C-alpha cells in the first residue's frame, strides 16, 4: 500500500487547517481578550464550537485510520529516527484529543455551556487562569505547536534533502 486512504487524506488536511487556525486564534485572540470584553462570548462560541468539531473529526479519523489499509512505517535506515516518526504520529493523536478534553473541562468548570450556548446571561468568571485544565490546555498548545514544527521539518527533510517523496503518501493518487 503506497498511500493513505483518500478519506484519511481529506481528514488530515481539513484537521491540519482547523487545528492551526484554532492554535493561532486561541493564543492570539481568545486568550488575549479579557473576559469582561463584550466580544469575548462570541470568540468563546467560535473557539469552543471549532474545538468540539476538531475533537469529533479526530476520533472519527482515528477509527478510519485503524480500519483501512495504510502504508508501512517509513524506514530511513536509522532506528532512532524511525521510532521518532512513529511516536510523533501517536503523540499528535494523544495531544489533540487531550486539548479537546481539557477545553471541555475548562468550559464545564467555568459554567460556559449555559453562558455561551444557553444564553443564561450570567457573567463570565473574571479569568479562567486558576482552573487546572486551563493550565493544561496552555501547556498542551505549546507541545502541539512544537510537534507541528517538527512535522514540517520532517516534511522539508524528506521532500528536499532525502528527496524520497515520503509525504506524497498523504496526498491523492493511485494506491498500489
- Contacts with ligand HEM by CB under 6 A lie at 19, 22-23, 26-27, 30-31, 47-48, 51-52, 54-55, 96, 99-100, 103-104, 106-107, 128, 134, 137-138, 141
By beta-carbon proximity to ligand HEM, the closer residue of 85 and 100 is 100
Q: How far is the CB of 160 from ligand HEM (least distance, A)?
A: 28
Name every residue whose Cβ is closer than 8 Å to that of residue 18 and which is 6 or more positions away in sequence. 50, 53, 54, 57
Q: How far is the CB of 147 from ligand HEM (least distance, A)?
A: 11
By beta-carbon proximity to ligand HEM, the closer residue of 53 and 166 is 53
Q: How many residues can be counted in the chain?
A: 176
Handedness of CA 13, 20, 151, 73 (dihedral sign): negative
Cell numbers found for residue 58: 479526530
By beta-carbon proximity to ligand HEM, the closer residue of 22 and 85 is 22
By beta-carbon proximity to ligand HEM, the closer residue of 74 and 147 is 147
By beta-carbon proximity to ligand HEM, the closer residue of 40 and 70 is 40
Q: How far is the CB of 163 from ligand HEM (least distance, A)?
A: 32
How many CB atoms sit inside 10 A of residue 77's CB? 6
Q: Specify the residue for cell string 524506514.
A: 75
DSSP code of residue 160: I
Q: How far is the CB of 49 from ligand HEM (least distance, A)?
A: 8
Helix (H) or strand (E) holding 61: helix 40-67
Region of 75 please: left (phi>0), alpha (psi -120 to 50) or beta: beta
Q: How far is the CB of 150 from ligand HEM (least distance, A)?
A: 16
Amino acid at each position: 500500500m503506497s498511500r493513505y486512504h483518500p478519506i484519511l487524506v481529506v481528514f488530515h488536511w481539513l484537521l491540519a487547517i482547523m487545528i492551526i487556525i484554532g492554535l493561532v486564534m486561541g493564543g492570539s485572540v481568545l486568550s488575549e481578550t479579557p473576559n469582561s470584553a463584550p466580544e469575548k462570548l462570541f470568540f468563546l462560541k467560535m473557539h469552543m464550537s471549532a474545538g468540539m468539531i476538531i475533537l469529533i473529526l479526530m476520533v472519527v479519523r482515528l477509527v478510519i485510520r485503524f480500519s483501512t489499509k495504510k502504508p508501512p512505517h517509513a524506514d530511513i535506515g536509522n532506528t532512532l529516527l524511525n521510532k521518532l516518526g512513529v511516536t510523533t504520529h501517536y503523540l499528535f493523536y494523544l495531544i489533540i484529543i487531550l486539548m479537546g478534553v481539557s477545553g471541555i473541562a475548562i468550559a464545564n468548570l467555568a459554567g460556559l455551556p449555559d453562558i455561551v450556548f444557553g444564553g443564561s446571561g450570567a457573567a463570565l468568571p473574571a479569568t479562567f487562569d486558576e482552573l487546572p485544565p486551563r493550565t493544561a490546555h496552555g501547556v498542551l498548545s505549546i507541545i502541539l505547536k512544537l510537534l507541528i514544527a517538527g512535522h514540517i521539518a520532517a516534511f522539508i527533510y524528506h521532500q528536499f534533502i532525502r528527496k524520497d517523496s515520503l509525504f506524497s503518501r498523504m496526498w491523492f493518487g493511485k494506491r498500489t
